[in-house]
Chain A
Amino acid sequence: GDSVTQMEGPVTLSEEAFLTINCTYTATGYPSLFWYVQYPGEGLQLLLKATKADDKGSNKGFEATYRKETTSFHLEKGSVQVSDSAVYFCALSGGGNYGGSQGNLIFGKGTKLSVKP
């Protein structure tokens, strides 16, 4: 079945460092891809998305490009801030059947990012 694999954390960086969080997926069909962010003690918020190959999603300085040839959707940011400390989830949707219904999200296990001042 469809699945998402993220790099394991935790990831600890200094402020202004470059961030990459790897995400690869397995899916039938043509899924949409997402990055969600979860700040401590809160629910998830959609960070960015891409719905077709070569699309680049971007938001708040974060970017991710939908690479069909490598089945990847790596999250990047050029200069992280302390306020970026959170757990980041890669997710896919719509690649094929999941639970009998397309449109449900399949999440990776999450990567915890800690940014030190």
Chain B
Amino acid sequence: DGGITQSPKYLFRKEGQNVTLSCEQNLNHDAMYWYRQDPGQGLRLIYYSQIVNDFQKGDIAEGYSVSREKKESFPLTVTSAQKNPTAFYLCASSIGLGQPKQFFGPGTRLTVL
């Protein structure tokens, strides 16, 4: 089955630690996205990538970093510089950046202890 997988589903982190969230897709999509979801705030775009080895900042990129070394993978690192990292993180992909229909993964809930 084609789709997007995110792991882990739940993640706990101590303050001051970096943590990496995984996102993999086997849909052969060029474009991939990371969103952050907070209660009552909808989804906010963190980073997006149009193609391998290319990525752009979204609205709230500070304290986050990404890489796109393979078409299938778009990991997100939440660094210690992110002041309020506890949130639900969603990864998505689309055929291309000009194709707005996005497919979403199941999400990772990150909690900072």
Chain A residues proximal to chain B, CB less than 8 Å: 32, 34, 36, 41-46, 49, 89, 93-94, 99-105, 107-110
- Total chain B interface residues with beta-carbon distance under 8 A: 30
Nearest neighbor of A93 in chain B, beta-carbon distance: B100
Query: In the bound complex, what is the Cα–Cα distance between A84 and B89 (angstroms)?
Result: 23
Question: Are B104 and A103 in contact, CB atoms less than 8 angstroms apart?
Answer: no
Task: Tell me if B21 counts as interface (CB < 8 A to partner A).
Answer: no
- Per-residue 0/1 for B82-113: is the Cβ within 8 Å of any A Cβ (1 yes, 0 no)? 00000000101010111111111111000000
Contact of B100 with A105 in the complex, beta carbons under 8 Å? yes
> Please, which residues of chain B bring their CB within 8 A of the CB of A108?
42
Report the Cα distance A105→B34, complex, angstroms.
Answer: 12
Asked if A34 and B100 sit within 8 Å, CB to CB, the answer is yes
Is the beta-carbon distance between B43 and A42 smaller than 8 angstroms?
no
Contact pick for A101, options B4, B6, B48, B59, CB 8 Å: B48
The residue on A at minimum CB distance from B47 is: A99
**Contact in complex: B101, A49 (CB < 8 Å):** yes
CB of B50 within 8 Å of the partner chain:
yes
- Which residues of the other chain, B, contact A99 by a CB distance below 8 angstroms? 45, 48, 56-59
